[in-house]
Structure 1
Amino acid sequence: MIKLFQYNWMVREEWFEWCMQLPHEEYIRERVGGVRSFHRTLFHIIDVESSWIRALDGKPDEMPSLEQYDTVERLHSLSKHYRSDVESFAAKWTSEMELKSFSVPWEPDETHTYGEVIRHVIAHEIHHIGQISVWAQEIGSKPVSANFIGRGLNT
């Protein structure tokens, strides 16, 4: 599980570097599909990861606002800030947590297992990074590699 989080973080870092090369207008331009822009999609990825992991860890959802993080650099800073929460939680993960049930404030009538949520958070980011890759190609740019192989995460 931790290797997939590390993979997502590596790819996210590379996308932040890629986005820093884009003109701001291109970065925030409304697009078809997904969360409608590079900026909104990266914010959504960070917000979802943080919200779910903080909920699993018994912490309140901080609910940052998109307007507070209106540049690539500010959003990158938010990503780094929340990553420490996720790393801390992932370091405490045990197999006994897999089937533990809980509910979140935004879905009070639903129950989930910790394992289900962890896999959702990982898959959610991979899904949205695929959308960003398509948009990169649409503007004639080479997307960040989605390859897990060769990232040094095999140990």
Structure 2
Amino acid sequence: MTPNELIQLAEYNKWANQTLYKSCANLPEADYKAERPSFFGSIHNTLNHILVGDKIWFGRFEGAPEKLSLSDILYQDFSSLQTARESEDARILKYAQSISQDTLDNDLSYKNVAGDNHCDPMSALLRHAFNHQTHHRGQVHCLLSQTDVPPPSLDIMYYLRAQD
């Protein structure tokens, strides 16, 4: 992984989140928070989980780990969650824009949420963080397909073509 590849992933992440949140904003609150068969139980809870995951991982990357549980609900309403998502995406992009190849080529020692110590290649951990976002955005996409709001296309190719 190179710094430029990381920046591209951070920019795509921001675009994909904006696109997904734009669709979710069209849901009535009852549909947005409705219990649905899924790991986190609703669109709202899944979007919260993505944010929690980002806060945990990027806190570790920045050397200021956050004490959160993977099922924490940080915001009870869509508007507050959307504002926090925009702030987190700006944080992620700023981090990506400041990273060095040396940092990408080294390992990161950290404690996971269970308190276990680990040391893994930084580039693999960053790929994991972005893959985690994509995985759960896909779950939200599926949950949206169970509503009257059509799920948006989130493929990275659509993002790349929008940049031309």
The reply to whether TM is greater than 0.5 is yes
Aligned residue number for residue 101 of structure 2: 95
2:89 is paired with a residue whose SS is helix
**Distance in 2 between residues matched to 1:74 and 1:150, nearest whole Å:** 27
Q: Is the 8 A contact 1:102 1:113 kept in 2?
A: no
Taking structure 1 as the reference length, the TM-score comes to: 0.86
Cα RMSD between the aligned structures?
Answer: 2.2
**Distance in 2 between residues matched to 1:120 and 1:32, nearest whole Å:** 25
Aligned-pair CA distance for 1:104: 2.6
Runs of 4+ in 1 over 3 A off after TM superposition: 62-65, 152-155
- Overall identity of the aligned pairs, in %: 20
RCO (CA 8 Å, sep 6+): is it higher in 1 or 2? 2
**Distance in 1 between residues matched to 2:14 and 2:55, nearest whole Å:** 13
Aligned residue number for residue 144 of structure 2: 136
Taking structure 2 as the reference length, the TM-score comes to: 0.82
**Distance in 1 between residues matched to 2:90 and 2:141, nearest whole Å:** 26
Of 111, 126, 143, the match for 1:104? 111
Say how many residue pairs are matched: 154
Structure 1 segments unaligned to the other structure (5+ residues): none
Deviates more, 1:78-87 or 1:111-120: 78-87
Deviates more, 1:144-153 or 1:93-102: 144-153
Structure 2 segments unaligned to the other structure (5+ residues): 1-5
Q: Does 1:115 align with 2:123?
A: yes
Q: Is the 8 A contact 1:136 1:142 kept in 2?
A: yes
Q: Does 1:46 align with 2:51?
A: yes
Aligned residue number for residue 16 of structure 2: 11
2:154 is paired with a residue whose SS is coil
